[in-house]
Amino acid sequence: MVLTRRWERLGPGSFFLAPPLWLYSRMLRQVLHEGLRTSFYKLGHFVANHPVFFASAPVLVSILLGASFSRYRIEENVEYLLAPKHSLAKIEGNLVDSLFPVNKSKHTLYSDLQTPGRYGRVIITSGRGSVLDQHHVDLVLKLHSTITKIQVHMLGFNYTFAHLCLLDSNKSCIVDDILRVLEELRAARAANRSAPPVRYPITRLQDGREAYIGHQLGGVLPAGREGVRQARALQLSYYLQAVNPLNDVMAARWELHFCHALERFQEVHPEVTLYPFTSSSPQRDFQRTSKVSERPLLVSLTLCVSLAVLCCSMRDCVRTKPWLGLLALLSVSLATLTSAGIINLTGGKYNSTFLGIPFIMLGHGLLGTFEMLSSWRRTREDQHVKERVAAVFSDCMLPFTASTALYLVTFGIGASPFTNIEAVRLFCRNTCISVLFNYLYILSFYGSNLVFTGYLENNYQHSLFCKKVPKPELLQQKPAWYRFLMYTQYNEEAPEGGDMHAYENHLLVAFMKRYYCDWITNTYVKPFVVLFYLVYISFALMGYLQVTEGSDLSNVVATETSTIVYTRAQQRYFSNYSPVIGFYIYESIEYWNASVQEDVLEYTKGFERISWFESYLGYLRGLNLSTSLPKRNFTERLRSGFLKLPQFLHFSDDIIFAKRADGEVDVVASRMFLVAKTTENKREEMYILLDTLRKLSLGSRVKFIIFNPSFVYMDRYASSVGAPIKNSCISALFLLFFSAFLVADSLVNVWLTVTVASVEFGVIGFMTLWQVELDCVSVLCLIYGVNYAVDWSAPLVSTFALGRDYTRTRWVKLALERHGVPMLQSYLCYSAALLPLAAVPSNLTHTLFRCLFLTALITAFHCLAILPILLTFLPPSKRKKRKEKKAADDREEIECVEVVDSTRVVDQITTV
């Protein structure tokens, strides 16, 4: 009936000429808008008719699914979570492992060259003096002896490092070359002879072999040409075999004993400082964030509950709604429990990035529930509870449903296979599940509790004690404390337009209606707000131009852990050189050809090199032979001469020979090791170096690849991290464009798009100025920022755009009066929930707190200050009410509605 009359009033029958196409489009949008509002009105009636079912069913479902926590599991593979899934570095790593398996190396290993499975590392620093002086050399060798004697008891046997280590060709454990240097120094001092000179970063051992010690000796002060006068730090690495599950378990236990042994050694010898690190340290410290967050999260919940109850309370004991503030958080908690149960039942594994999901649900759910409470205050008190609940659903559920759909689309895109980082994909997938249940529980559980509190209010029962409040004449006869507890404003006959005066005693309502709306729309305030916005844009642009990617694992682990302490020590003492880069020639080339030799030497020029190729060419020159020998002679001297000498024997691991059908032997693959000189900005230089060598390999005659395990995290990291936010923003813009044909005014989506762009730009800029890098956690917060901005601005802009018959300023005030209070309530509760996150000793939670706090603050600034100012002088325009109307338009349409209740029948006259 209502839709039919609206269509007739907007239809072509009221015009002398056929209306243009844009008018038909507008009429269609208005009909669709009213149709959706009517549907939610009927849904509200249905929920109000069955409140017990909708209140109990979500609780029962949550309890049943919450029992699945017996299947709770934790994801232990950090590389699987944080490294890009599809990257060239992983393909290169597989090729490297197939050609030169690390477990089959027979002579030496270079730190950080390949991922060796299980290992233990320790950085030793001296408080005074050099680690190469006699006292510290003895301490380091004593520590080495202590580590090699660590015993792991398992299956009735005691296993030491000798049983678990990687073995060389002599069946001895492979150890770092710096230990041989220290042993030579001690032997020379014991024999009372001069110690051999230690060169840096490549030194020569007594057997004539050259060894790279750039990652084993740190804090070096040079003395003369390539000599070492003093060194402040020393690093030792111990690699373990992990060829089968049982061996891996023993190696994992050895790592624990390794850390305990270092702690005991540190207590006995305080003159040195030890920084331990094992292969399981990143995973343990990554998951440690969840443990150290438990107490702050409880504080966060307590603060949020307290503020939610206070924001919903007022002096009037009947109209106050403290239980609804508590039930709003209970709805979010039940939805979280339900979604977690589904994740456990489907085999999902927990990781520390999931800490952000409850805060996303909280930001979405709080605003929706406070909007429903604000809409309840605008309903007429003389209406039946079912009518009031239906009116709330009609008023609030349409924008809340639209924003929920936007959440599902943006995070759904992030959960798609197009996302290259597994942690981001899992987070987005679980967020979609959580947001969906959050929406359903607010619609059902919170809506049904709104019915119960409505009956208490209609019957003038106390909101806390459920006791009937006496009428004023009876209340005056009671004691003062009783009158204070039972204070309410009786309205025997409510006015026709709805009674809003009773709710104006609410602190935030009075502040917004009496003070803030008039102040923010004041002519003298507008220039200062615009000026402040320009300052905001300037600082955001300054930060936006300094955005950096954060592929470092230390960005997502707990602070003051072994990973952070070890990383700081490594950056302080071992940042002069890059990680060892493997230079792999993976096909047979003409090594004997002079032009090929020049190409290979040119590619490796400028690096510190550990190269069999250069050593062999120097060997030929030492024999007064040409380096351009015939193929057979070149290969034969390499095999039978060069690689048989003790000082070059270790290069046999770096060359792969193959016998052809004609009996000739070819070098089918080989490897060399390169180290670049770096500065403080080591990571950015590695990005540039990786790109440069990759481009060089594409156009060179020599087919080579470069590899280091850190490339797995750096390769395509920028595109992999940025892709989810780009795809989500594109999908959000597409959804806003598509929904422009469904909303009553297409300018609503234009303003939403502008607001989202301004908020996202500011969040990116200010988080960079707050020393937050663009990593997987900050990108997830940026995706949430798109939805959070739409959540806040959509009701405000819609109310303003759909308003007619008043000036822009008047409608800005009306929009703020309707939606400003829910915004303030949501912001206060959400900020209180975020504050304890700042106290969690974890880099992950620091990033989470800073990004979410900036998102909430900047969005509140836009919706409470910027948008109200801009809307007062920018489209859409408003039409003033006409003074003259036709007599046919002056008559009112009266519709009789009979409301049937279980106890009474109320004839209600509603003016439309």
**pLDDT tens across 313-329, in order?**
888 888 888 999 999 99
Among the listed ranges 94-98, 107-111, 275-279, which one has the minimum average pLDDT value?
A: 107-111
State the maximum Cα–Cα separation within the chain, in Å, rounded to a whole number.
120
Which of 110, 161, 736 is CA-nearest to residue 402?
736
Most confident of 60-74, 420-434, 573-587, 737-751: 420-434
Report which secondary-structure segment, H or E, holds 192. Answer: none
pLDDT band, residue 884 (cuts 50/70/90): very low
Q: Within 13 Å and on the Cβ side, how many CA atoms surround 211?
A: 24
209's tokens: 């072999």
Predicted pLDDT of residue 193: 81
Q: In which region does residue 19 sit, left (phi positive, over 0), alpha (psi from -120 to 50) or beta (all else)?
A: beta
Looking at residue 141, what DSSP letter applies? H
Q: Give the number of other CB atoms < 10 A from CB of residue 150.
A: 22
Predicted pLDDT of residue 806: 78
The one-letter code for the residue type at 163 is: H
The one-letter code for the residue type at 700 is: S
pLDDT band, residue 901 (cuts 50/70/90): very low
Q: What is the mean pLDDT of residues 436-450?
A: 95
Predicted pLDDT of residue 155: 81
Cα–Cα distance, 301 to 320 (Å, whole number): 22
Cα–Cα distance, 338 to 60 (Å, whole number): 10
Cα–Cα distance, 899 to 879 (Å, whole number): 37
Does 495 score more than 70 pLDDT? no
SS3 state at 805: strand
Q: 551 near 775, Cβ under 8 Å?
A: yes
Does 883 score more than 70 pLDDT? no
Give the sign of the dihedral formed by CA 599, CA 605, CA 609, CA 615. Answer: positive
C-alpha angle with apex 826: 825 to 827, nearest 5 degrees?
Answer: 95
Among the listed ranges 168-177, 271-280, 592-601, which one has the minimum average pLDDT value?
A: 168-177
Predicted pLDDT of residue 895: 38
Q: What is the mean pLDDT of residues 475-489?
A: 80
Which of 311, 555, 602, 520 is CA-nearest to residue 423?
555
Q: Give the number of other CB atoms < 10 A from CB of residue 261.
A: 20
- Do you find a cis peptide bond into 201, omega within 30 degrees of 0? yes
Q: What does the CA dihedral 597, 602, 608, 611 come to, rounded to 10 degrees?
A: -20
Does 663 score more than 80 pLDDT? no
Residues 6+ apart with CB under 8 A from 895: 1, 910, 912
49's tokens: 């008719």
- Residue 219 backbone dihedrals phi, psi, to 5 degrees: 60, 45
pLDDT of 380-416, one tens digit each? Answer: 888 899 999 999 999 999 889 989 999 998 899 889 8
Q: What share of the chain has pLDDT > 90, as a percent? A: 38
Predicted pLDDT of residue 686: 77
pLDDT of 816-853, one tens digit each? Answer: 999 999 999 999 999 999 999 999 999 999 999 999 99
Burial of 738 (0-12, 13-18, 19+ CB in 10 A): exposed
299's tokens: 């504080």
C-alpha angle with apex 791: 786 to 794, nearest 5 degrees?
Answer: 105
Cα–Cα distance, 274 to 277 (Å, whole number): 10
Predicted pLDDT of residue 35: 86
| Alpha carbon 174 to its chain's center | 40
pLDDT band, residue 900 (cuts 50/70/90): very low
385's tokens: 């509870």
898, β-bridge pairs: 907
| Alpha carbon 484 to its chain's center | 48
Predicted pLDDT of residue 105: 55
SS3 state at 630: coil
Predicted pLDDT of residue 282: 87
Residues 6+ apart with CB under 8 A from 497: none
Pairing outcome for strands 152-154 and 119-126? unpaired
67's tokens: 């029992």
Q: What is the mean pLDDT of residues 564-572?
A: 89
Q: 621 near 578, Cβ under 8 Å?
A: no
Give the sign of the dihedral formed by CA 690, CA 225, CA 616, CA 647. Answer: negative
Predicted pLDDT of residue 226: 65
Mean pLDDT rounded to a whole number for the chain: 84
Pairing outcome for strands 665-675 and 905-911? unpaired
Does 681 score more than 70 pLDDT? no
Pairing outcome for strands 665-675 and 581-585? antiparallel
Burial of 665 (0-12, 13-18, 19+ CB in 10 A): middle
pLDDT of 11-51, one tens digit each? Answer: 444 443 445 665 666 677 777 878 888 999 999 999 999 99
Q: 216 near 579, Cβ under 8 Å?
A: no
Cα–Cα distance, 360 to 620 (Å, whole number): 67
Q: 566 near 275, Cβ under 8 Å?
A: yes
Predicted pLDDT of residue 61: 94
Query: Rounded to a whole number, what is the distance in angstroms from the first to the last CA of the chain?
Result: 12
Is 685 or 905 the better-scoring residue by pLDDT? Answer: 685
C-alpha angle with apex 857: 856 to 863, nearest 5 degrees?
Answer: 85
Predicted pLDDT of residue 893: 40
Cα–Cα distance, 849 to 840 (Å, whole number): 10
DSSP assignments along 289-355, one per residue: HHHHTHHHHHHHHHHHHHHHHHHT--S-TTT--HHHHHHHHHHHHHHHHHHHHHHHHTT--B-GGGG
Ranges assigned E (strand) in 213-284? 217-222, 228-239, 272-278
Looking at residue 443, what DSSP letter applies? I
The structure's pTM equals 0.86
Cα–Cα distance, 709 to 227 (Å, whole number): 30
157's tokens: 């046997």
Residues 6+ apart with CB under 8 A from 456: 318, 462, 463, 466
SS3 state at 62: helix
Q: What is the mean pLDDT of residues 270-286?
A: 91
Q: 463 near 323, Cβ under 8 Å?
A: yes
Predicted pLDDT of residue 845: 93
204, β-bridge pairs: 210
Predicted pLDDT of residue 53: 95
Estimate the share of the chain in helix, then strand, then coil, as percent rounded to the nearest 5: 60, 10, 30
Q: 647 near 207, Cβ under 8 Å?
A: yes
Does 892 score more than 50 pLDDT? no
Predicted pLDDT of residue 33: 76
899, β-bridge pairs: 906
897, β-bridge pairs: 908
pLDDT of 168-210, one tens digit each? Answer: 777 788 888 899 999 988 888 888 887 778 888 888 888 888 8
DSSP assignments along 336-405, one per residue: HHHHHHHHHHTT--B-GGGGHHHHHHHHHHHHHHHHHHHHHHHS-TTS-HHHHHHHHHHHHHHHHHHHHH
SS (H, E, C) 455-498: HHHHCCECCCCCCECCCHHHHCCCCHHHHHHCCCCCCCCCCCCC
Which of 738, 789, 742 is CA-nearest to residue 763?
789
Q: What share of the chain has pLDDT > 70, as a percent? A: 88
